[in-house]
Structures are given as C-alpha cells and as structure tokens.
C-alpha cells in the first residue's frame, strides 16, 4: 500500500524522464484531434462539439455558441511592440470573430488573466481598457473571469458566448461542388504588419547592422500596423450578407491563413477546391512592403494568418447578389474531392495548397 | 506622425519602467473589483455578470450559467507531486463545483492548454484522461478548446456552462437574519493533504534534516491526499437538498476557505454572521496530522481552501428537514449586519472572521 501510494502520488517526479512523443510530431491540429478523438456526447443540449469555429448548444429557443482562445506572452504576442490596450482589444475581437464565423452574434465573455509580478495595476487597467473597448464596440458583456498571479509573463484566456437562430448557423461542412469561394477584405496584411514591427524591433534593439535606421519607418504603413495590432471582426460582412439574402454554405474566419482554412472546409465538406492566384485580394501597401523585404506576397496572403477576415462558400445561384457587395471577393470555387485542393497560378498551372498555417508547436 | 506612431507602437518598450502600483496592494478580489467596476450590461440575455460563482444568461427557457478557472503551474499546482491525470480531473471538477454552487447542472466545458516543450503527447493524454474521466462522472461534454505551445510550464484554462431553471438558481446575496449557515463534508482536509505532500516533497528532495524519512508516511492518510489531489464537486448535496425540498437562500462553494467565503455571502447579502468553532466539521485524520505538524486545525478549517464543499444558508423553517441529512452540518446563523461577522470560540468569546483566503498575489 505504501509503495503504491508513493508511486502514484510521486509519479510526477519521474514523468519527465519517461519516454515521450514530441508534440511537434502531431502538430497543433493533429494534437487536438488526437486528444478529442471519440468524445462522447452526454448532454442533449450539445448540438456541435469540437471541430468548428464555435460549439453549438440548444438550451431553448435560440442556439448558444461558445468559443475560447488562449494567448500566451512570448508565443502569441510580444509586449515589446504590442501595447497592452491593443492586446486586450485583439484578445476579445478574435473570439468575436469566431462567433461571427458561425453567422452568430457574440453576447458575453469571461476573461481569465495570469499575471506575473512585473505587471502593475496600471498595466492591467490598460489591458482591460482594450477588452472593454472591444466589448463596447461589439455590444458584448464581460460576465466573469479569474485573475491569478503567474510565475512568468502574461496569460490571457477569453471564452465567448454568442447566439444564433438554428436556421442561420453556418458550419464548416456545408460546401458543395460548384459553390463560389469568397473572402472579405484582404489577405496577408496582418502578417506584413507583424514583419514591419519585428524589423523595427530588431533595429531598435540594435540587432541589425543598420543602426542609423533606429526611427521606425512606419509612415504610410499605418494600415498594416493596425491590421496586426488592432484587428476587427467582420460583423459588417455578416450583416451585409444577411441584408443581401445570402446564407453561406460554409464559413470560418481566417486566423491561421487562407490555405490552412480552406483545407478545413474542404476536409469537413468532403470536397476539393480551386483558388485563383490572380483573384486573391491583396493590399497595395502590403505588396510594397513585401517587395521591400524580398517576401512573396502571394505566399504571405496564403499563409500569413491573423487577418480575421471571413472565408465562406456560397451557392452559385447567389453570384448576381454577391457581385455588387463591397469588400467581398470571389477567389475560386468548390470542386469534386478527387480534383484536389489547388491554387491555379497566374500562368495557369496548378499547385496543391498546403496548410502551413500558424505552427504554435 | 512618425513620432506618434513610434510612441504608440513602441510604448511597450518603456512600460516596464513606468511607475506602477503593485497588484498585491489590491489583492485578488480587490483587483477583480477594480478591473470590473461599473461594467455596463449591453445584452438583454445577461442576467447576472461578475460577482457570483457563475454568470447567468437568459437565452430562452432555461438559464445558462457560465464559469471559468485558470490554473498555472507553479502557482496552482506542483507537478512534483500532482499526477497529470489527477490535475486534469481536478481542473474540470472545480468548474463543476461553481455551477453546482449556483444550484445548477454543469453541461459543457471548453479546455484551453498552454504546453511547454518539456511535455510530450503522453503527458497531455494523461491530463486529458483526467478531464474526460471527470466529464464522464459528472455527465459533462467537452465541446471545444485551444491548445498552444507555451514558453514556460503548463497552463490550463477551463470554462464551464451549466443550466438551471430560473426559480432554482441560488445567488450569494439571498441570506437574511436568522438563516442557518450550513456546510457539507468537512473543512481543512484538502489543506492538510497539501501539507503532507509538501512535507514529503521536501523529505524526498533532501531539503530537510530527516534523511531517514524519505519513504512518505501516507499510510492511513490516503483520504487527506485524495481531498487534495482528486476533489469531488458536491452534486450529491445539491440533489439531496432538492429531494428534501430545501432551497438555500444563498450558496457558494468553498475554494478559498470558509472565512473568506462566508464574508462574501455576508457582504453581498448585507448581513452579519456567527459561526461556532465547536460546530466546524473536522476530519479525524486531518486533526491528527495538524497536531503532528503543530498546526491549529481550526485555523486550517477556516482558511485552508480547496475543499470544494458547499457553504449555504437556509431559512430557519427548514431546520427540521436539515437535521436528518447526511454530511450537512449547521455551523452558525446569519445576524444583523451591525453584529459583525464573528467566530464564537469554544470558550464563548468572539473573534472577527478574517478573509485570509488564498492569496494568489
């Protein structure tokens, strides 16, 4: 008995020397799939669990949506160039974006913070001011949370509830052959904003040879910084589609890059896709900065991530309704699964789309 | 323009040398109150926001409850003696406990994990096995989450939804003069379990002079370890009260210690209380270990925390119904606010109760 308890309670002492499989061998999505494989459904109110932008619950008349995001200092943000107020704003907005991506309306959030000793009350006020600003802007209530000391750095975990009528909810699995593939806004811009900030941080900290360039060259590039530091969720697009009588067949928001996201839709809808390189909406400033930095802007647009634009598919019969809509771009169409998931290049060639996404591991 | 953007985007570079107010000057509850002061309510569905065990939303027929907990390695748990499976179980259960403390039923959770490179897939399987076991035991679905790399240690953020009929929900603010104060189970036991584990950890790592005592002396004390490592939420008590036709007037779970929690109820209900030292339910094993360690068991019972027992108040007319109920103890009564919040000692003296609670900062 003694030995058994010893072993079980002190197992942790030796766990670190046990054989282990590196998490990177599965990747982020692989890991989540692995850990959540064959989850049972025990509650009648659970309508959709893991695997979309948000979970869907049936508690009564409307459906309740739920999504969560965890942001860790040094992984998801760098406080050397992200002001705390912006960080708070963004941390809230990325959750709202997930609810809009279900064609729902965000309603409440809880905010959990882990805070190390180097942060003072004023810092948390700044962070909270950003969260509150986002909530005010999107009409969302802060209804709870948890605040704790942390040994290292800042941890932000936000969970968001939303509502939608059953008939309005758009999942990732509804795309079908001949559907149009659309995106809002432009792609790769937030990524170029990050590159700018990162370059200036290195210059500022003297880690490049260009000491004379210490003053950041941000003039005329404010939009790129804004896309990175203070992204917005596309509530306007959701409202525009509704007003235009268009219900997407599948939808998600673009947090990990277009390639990664369209593959999610194709996988869950069991279909293929053709995306046209020359249809990708790219911001002029982003293209100029990419050129300056010797980056391929198409690669950035496909894999950049953090744009929080909406990616959706529509029935071909909605084509006429889509055309006049501002800031929505048709970039391709859904194909049979056996046609694969391809990018049609400017030259007319085909390349398989790859989910580089955003590798958190 | 250049300077302004420079200042705003690089503000973070200098935030750390700005004057700051140490978070410890406000304390955990003070900080939360400060940050969430005067939050507006923007959504008609928000019925109760910050300030109870869970938020309450009105989306249709039933009410939806929502609570969240953040657990950080080195602050809330020590993997030297907490096995990952137990940790997962506990991380889920503490959320269920908050929902039961509203007299609700937990239904869904989301699980966000931040994981550093020293963890392998097998470690996360262990952690998830514990979470899944808890969910199975309490009939709760895992419906989403977020998993990310972390620079340091393990972060676990769980958010739980629950349901309750409007008429069944019990808040913290309903206690009134002459109400009976009750607790379930026993108090201070989880804290004594922690002391045992901590003592054995020091012995094991050779940090005490008692090298000959390296083999942990846990025999006969398994219950204390279990209370610390694998606590349960008191669903049984909620069911028992319901079956007995008792609806508490106020209720919360004891995560930070009895003193801290009863003060929350008295503050929110605008009343005082008298708790009787000789009525505090104390486990025999816990008392023996406290004696052995020169700790005052009453202090442990008042301030220990992590017991996850239920603290509730009942109308005096329910006295006869309460008496026959197993594992529920009447420990005092609610008084006028001007009578203060006191502990009546065995000798008949009075001491003001103090919210030592669990100081995370």
Q: What is the pLDDT of residue B349?
A: 95
SS3 letters for B150-185? CCCCCEEEEEEEEEECHHHCCCCCCCCCCCEEEEEC
CA distance A44 to chain B (A): 9
Euclidean distance between CA atoms B127 and A126, whole angstroms: 34
Alpha-carbon Rg of chain A, whole angstroms? 22
**pLDDT tens for each residue of A221-243:** 999 999 999 999 999 999 999 99
Do the chains contact at B42 and A83, CB–CB below 8 Å? no
Euclidean distance between CA atoms A147 and A158, whole angstroms: 12
Q: What is the pLDDT of residue A9?
A: 46
Euclidean distance between CA atoms B332 and B120, whole angstroms: 49
Q: What is the pLDDT of residue A216?
A: 60
Helices A2-9 + B222-229 axis angle, to 10: 20
Euclidean distance between CA atoms B180 and B172, whole angstroms: 14
Contacts of B3 (CB under 8 A, 6+ apart): none
Do the chains contact at B159 and A66, CB–CB below 8 Å? yes
* Residue B323 touches chain A, beta carbons under 8 Å: no
Ramachandran region, residue A74 (left: φ > 0; alpha: ψ -120 to 50; beta: rest): left
CA-based nearest residue to A297, from A192, A202, A221, A225: A192
Dihedral (CA of A111, A117, A118, A123) sign: positive
Euclidean distance between CA atoms B131 and B161, whole angstroms: 15
Q: What is the pLDDT of residue A207?
A: 62
How high is the mean pLDDT of chain A?
Answer: 87
CA-based nearest residue to A94, from A315, A318, A305, A316: A305
CA-based nearest residue to B48, from A105, A108, A111: A108
Do the chains contact at B159 and A76, CB–CB below 8 Å? no
Do the chains contact at A153 and B148, CB–CB below 8 Å? no
SS3 letters for B231-253? CCCCHHHHHHHHHCCCCCCEEEE
**Interface size between A and B, measured as CB pairs under 8 A:** 368
> Which two tokens mark A333?
């169409």
CA B242 from chain center: how many Å?
22
Q: What is the pLDDT of residue B206?
A: 67
Chain B residues within an 8 Å CB radius of A136: 40, 42
**Which of A255-264, A348-357, B7-16, B174-183 is predicted least confidently?**
B7-16
Give the SS3 label for residue B312: strand
Q: What is the pLDDT of residue A208?
A: 59
Matching residue, tokens 């699964």: A337
Euclidean distance between CA atoms A23 and A20, whole angstroms: 9
Do the chains contact at B66 and A36, CB–CB below 8 Å? no
Is-contact A157 A71, C-beta < 8 A? yes
Euclidean distance between CA atoms A128 and A136, whole angstroms: 12
Do the chains contact at B121 and A80, CB–CB below 8 Å? no
DSSP designation for A77:
B
Question: What confidence category does residue A220 fall into, taking pLDDT thresholds of 50, 70 and 90?
Answer: confident
Euclidean distance between CA atoms A303 and A333, whole angstroms: 19
Mean pLDDT of A240-267: 96
CA distance A194 to chain B (A): 12
Q: What is the pLDDT of residue A320?
A: 97
Instruction: Tell which A residues from 50 to 109 touch B, by Cβ distance under 8 Å.
Output: 50, 54-55, 57, 59-62, 64, 66-70, 72-76, 79-84, 107-108
Burial of A8 (0-12, 13-18, 19+ CB in 10 A): middle
Chain A residues within an 8 Å CB radius of B19: 120, 122
Chain B residues within an 8 Å CB radius of A97: none
DSSP designation for A236:
H
CA dihedral B20, B26, B29, B31 (to 10 degrees): -20
Beta bridge partners of A313: A181, A250
Ramachandran region, residue A340 (left: φ > 0; alpha: ψ -120 to 50; beta: rest): left
Is-contact B353 B265, C-beta < 8 A? no
CA-nearest residue to A125 within chain B is: B35
CA distance A173 to chain B (A): 17
* Residue B232 touches chain A, beta carbons under 8 Å: no
**pLDDT tens for each residue of A280-317:** 999 999 999 999 999 999 999 999 989 999 999 999 99
Give the SS3 label for residue A3: helix
Euclidean distance between CA atoms B356 and A57, whole angstroms: 39
Is-contact A230 A306, C-beta < 8 A? no
- Strands A350-352 and A180-184, how do they pair? unpaired
Mean pLDDT of A10-23: 54
Is-contact B18 A238, C-beta < 8 A? no
Give the SS3 label for residue A266: helix
Q: What is the pLDDT of residue A215?
A: 53
Q: What is the pLDDT of residue A8?
A: 46
Euclidean distance between CA atoms A158 and A130, whole angstroms: 13
DSSP designation for A53:
S
Do the chains contact at B148 and A75, CB–CB below 8 Å? yes
CA distance B182 to chain A (A): 26
Do the chains contact at B144 and A50, CB–CB below 8 Å? yes
The partner residue sitting opposite A141, judged by closest CB among B12, B41, B64, is B41
CA B326 from chain center: how many Å?
22
* Residue B132 touches chain A, beta carbons under 8 Å: yes
Euclidean distance between CA atoms A282 and A300, whole angstroms: 10
Give the SS3 label for residue B72: strand
Question: What confidence category does residue A16 fall into, taking pLDDT thresholds of 50, 70 and 90?
Answer: very low
Question: What confidence category does residue A29 fall into, taking pLDDT thresholds of 50, 70 and 90?
Answer: confident
Angle at A296 between CA A290 and CA A300, to 5 degrees: 80
* Residue A113 touches chain B, beta carbons under 8 Å: yes
* Residue A251 touches chain B, beta carbons under 8 Å: no
* Residue A41 touches chain B, beta carbons under 8 Å: yes
pLDDT per residue of chain B (361 residues) written in tens, 0 to 9 = 232 333 344 444 434 344 578 877 877 777 777 878 878 888 888 888 887 888 888 887 778 999 999 999 989 999 988 999 999 999 999 999 999 999 999 999 999 999 998 888 889 889 999 999 999 999 999 998 888 889 888 999 999 999 998 899 999 999 999 999 999 999 999 999 999 998 888 887 766 555 454 456 678 899 999 999 999 999 999 999 999 999 999 999 999 999 999 999 999 999 999 999 999 999 999 999 999 999 999 999 999 989 999 999 999 999 999 999 999 999 999 999 999 999 999 999 999 998 875 444 4
Contacts of A361 (CB under 8 A, 6+ apart): A23, A24, A27, A28, A31, B149
Q: What is the pLDDT of residue B214?
A: 47
**pLDDT tens for each residue of A159-200:** 999 999 889 999 999 999 999 999 999 999 999 999 999 888
CA-based nearest residue to B33, from B223, B206, B241, B267: B267
- Strands B105-115 and B55-58, how do they pair? unpaired
Q: What is the pLDDT of residue A7?
A: 38
CA-nearest residue to B230 within chain A is: A9
């Amino acid at each position: 008995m003694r030995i058994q308890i010893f072993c079980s309670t002190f197992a942790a002492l030796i766990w670190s020397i046990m054989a282990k499989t590196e998490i990177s061998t599965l990747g982020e999505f692989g890991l989540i799939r692995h850990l959540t494989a064959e989850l049972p459904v025990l509650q009648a109110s659970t309508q959709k669990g893991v695997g979309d932008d948000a979970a869907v619950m049936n508690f009564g008349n409307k459906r309740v949506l739920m999504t969560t995001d965890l942001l860790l200092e040094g992984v998801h943000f760098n406080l050397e160039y992200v002001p705390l107020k912006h960080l708070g704003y963004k941390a809230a907005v990325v959750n709202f974006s997930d609810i809009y991506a279900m064609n729902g309306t965000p309603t409440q959030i809880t905010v959990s913070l882990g805070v190390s000793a180097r942060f003072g009350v004023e810092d948390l006020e700044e962070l909270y001011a950003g969260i509150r600003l986002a909530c005010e802007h999107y009409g969302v209530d802060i209804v709870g949370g948890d605040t704790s000391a942390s040994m290292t750095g800042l941890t932000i975990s936000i969970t968001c509830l939303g509502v939608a009528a059953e008939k309005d909810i758009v999942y990732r699995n509804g795309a079908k052959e001949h559907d149009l593939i659309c995106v809002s806004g432009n792609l790769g811009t937030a990524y170029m904003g990050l590159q700018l900030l990162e370059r200036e941080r290195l210059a500022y900290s003297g880690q490049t040879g260009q000491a004379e360039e210490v003053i950041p060259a941000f003039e005329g590039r404010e939009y790129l910084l804004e896309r990175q530091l203070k992204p917005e969720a596309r509530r306007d697009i959701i409202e525009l589609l509704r007003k235009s009588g268009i219900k997407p067949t599948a939808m998600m928001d673009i947090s990990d890059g277009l390639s990664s996201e369209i593959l999610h839709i194709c996988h869950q809808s069991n279909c293929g896709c053709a995306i046209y390189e020359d249809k990708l909406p790219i911001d002029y400033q982003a293209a100029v900065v990419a050129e300056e930095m010797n980056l391929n802007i198409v690669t950035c647009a496909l894999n950049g991530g953090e744009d929080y634009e909406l990616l959706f598919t529509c029935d071909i019969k909605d084509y006429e309704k889509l055309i006049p809509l501002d800031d929505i771009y048709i970039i391709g169409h859904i194909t049979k699964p056996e046609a694969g998931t391809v990018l049609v290049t400017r030259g007319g060639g085909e390349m398989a789309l790859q989910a580089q996404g955003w590798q958190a591991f």
